[in-house]
Amino acid sequence: MKDASAGGLRPPERAAGGAEPSQGSASKSPRAVIFDLDGTLTEPLLDFDAMRAEIGLAPGPILEQLAHADAETRARAEVILRRHELDAIARATLADGCAEVLAHLAARGIPAAILTRNVREVVDVFSRAFGLSFAAVYTREDGPHKPSPAGVLALCEKMGVAPAETLVVGDYKFDILAGRDAGCATALVTTTHHPAPHELAEWGPPDVVVASLRELLPRFWPDF
Whole-model pTM: value is 0.83
Last residue of a domain, one of 32, 65, 89: 89
Say yes or no: 104 and 203 in one domain: yes
Say yes or no: 177 and 137 in one domain: yes
Q: Is 18 helix (H, G, I), strand (E, B) or coil?
A: coil
Say yes or no: 35 and 125 in one domain: yes
Say yes or no: 29 and 136 in one domain: yes
Say yes or no: 33 and 109 in one domain: yes
137 — phi, psi (to 5°)? -140, 140
pLDDT at 26: 52
Cis before 61? omega within 30 = no
Say yes or no: 154 and 201 in one domain: yes
**What's the one-letter identity of residue 147?**
P
Query: What is the tally of structural domains in the chain?
Result: 2
Say yes or no: 28 and 54 in one domain: no
Say yes or no: 69 and 157 in one domain: no
Instruction: Count Cβ atoms below 10 Å from residue 46 Cβ, excluding itself.
Output: 24
Spans of the chain below 70 pLDDT: 1-27, 224
In contact, 40 and 170? CB cutoff 8 Å? yes
Q: Is the backbone of residue 143 left (phi > 0), alpha (psi -120 to 50) or beta?
A: left
Domain assignment present for 17: no
Kindly give, in sequence order, each residue whose CB lies less than 8 Å from that of residue 88, ignoring residues fewer than 6 positions away: 38, 45, 46, 47
**Domain extent at residue 78:** 48-89
pLDDT at 8: 31
Say yes or no: 142 and 212 in one domain: yes
Domain assignment present for 16: no
Last residue of a domain, one of 89, 106, 122: 89
Say yes or no: 200 and 104 in one domain: yes
Alpha helices, DSSP H only, in 61-209?
A: 62-66, 71-89, 98-108, 120-130, 150-159, 173-182, 197-203
pLDDT at 199: 83
CATH of the domain at 165: 3.40.50.1000
pLDDT at 16: 38
pLDDT at 2: 57
pLDDT at 81: 87
pLDDT at 99: 96
